[in-house]
Amino acid sequence: MKRYKFLLLLALTLTCSTSAMAQLGELRGELALGVNAGMNMSKVDFSPRIKQKNQSGMSFGLTARYMCEKYFKMMCGIQAELNYSQRGWNELIEDGSGNTYNRVMNYVEVPLLAHLAFGKDSRTRGMKFFLNMGPQFAYFISDKENKGGEEWNTNMRPNGVIHQYGKEVENKLDYGIVAGAGLELSTGIGHFLVEGRYYYGLGDFYHNAKKDEFGRSGHSYIGVRLTYLYDIIK
């Protein structure tokens, strides 16, 4: 738990320090708003372990970015999003039962990101490389279980791990660290971004005391995002 708190504090510090760096370089005040959409490939870190394949899900939402400073060839800013995001897990069941199982979990996400860009000035047209990193908070809104197979039979599950079936989410608030990298094309009609993103959850959606079935039940996913931003203040 101490390690998780340290990682979250580190992400918060990085996000806040980005705006503080504005005192060192050329001040900017560029605000852009837009939309984003993409796909997540997710798993859940369970303890005891549950063997899984990637669970695919969609993500879409709103993006706001404030570029506050240019420091030599680096442009710094802060980016915030409000997203609908699907996560979950897809079990790899190899006990001969022929069963399949996956759960799709729906969240509202709020990433708060430090945004660092390298390349063409944000005020000119052209391509640039960027990095995003910071904390992400989310709230669980719904889920759906999908069971398959002629007859549902859990008697032969590895290590007898079956408590996840039908078990409701106990901790609806999720938090963790997200980091991404991508390319941005700035044009006369706006900014077009493509980004690869990784999220590591520091919280658990099931209770994790010694008396509980799971000691760990945290989300992680790899995502691809397409974003369009339009300059409001330039």
pLDDT, the chain, mean: 89
Q: What percent of the chain has pLDDT over 70?
A: 87
Compute the distance between CA of residue 189 and CA of residue 187 in angstroms, rounded to an integer: 5
Does residue 79 have a pLDDT over 90? yes
Strand positions, DSSP E, the chain: 26-47, 52-53, 55-71, 74-91, 100-119, 126-148, 173-187, 190-201, 216-233
Structure confidence by residue, pLDDT tens digits, 41-69: 999 999 999 999 999 999 999 999 999 87
Compute the distance between CA of residue 187 and CA of residue 192 in angstroms, rounded to an integer: 8
Question: Alpha carbon of 108 to those of 60, 62, 72, 172: distances in Å?
Answer: 10, 11, 37, 11
pLDDT of residue 181: 98
Structure confidence by residue, pLDDT tens digits, 168-226: 999 999 999 999 999 999 999 999 999 999 999 999 999 999 999 999 999 999 999 99
pLDDT of residue 22: 44
Long-range pairs, 94-97, Cβ under 8 A, ≥24: 94/51, 94/158, 95/156, 95/157, 95/158, 96/156, 97/149, 97/151, 97/153, 97/154, 97/156
pLDDT of residue 125: 80
Decide: pTM greater than 0.75: yes
Higher confidence at residue 2 or residue 37? 37
pLDDT of residue 27: 73
Does residue 19 have a pLDDT over 70? no
Does residue 3 have a pLDDT over 70? no
Q: What percent of the chain has pLDDT over 90?
A: 76
Q: 153 CB contacts (<8 Å, ≥6 apart)?
A: 97, 99
Distance of CA 19 to the CA centre of its chain: 22
pLDDT of residue 25: 59
pLDDT of residue 83: 98
pLDDT of residue 159: 81
Read off the pLDDT of each residue in 102-106 and give the average, rounded to a whole number.
98
Does residue 14 have a pLDDT over 70? no
- Which residues share a beta bridge with 53? 90
Does residue 7 have a pLDDT over 60? no
Read off the pLDDT of each residue in 139-161 and give the average, rounded to a whole number.
92
Compute the distance between CA of residue 86 and CA of residue 109 in angstroms, rounded to an integer: 10
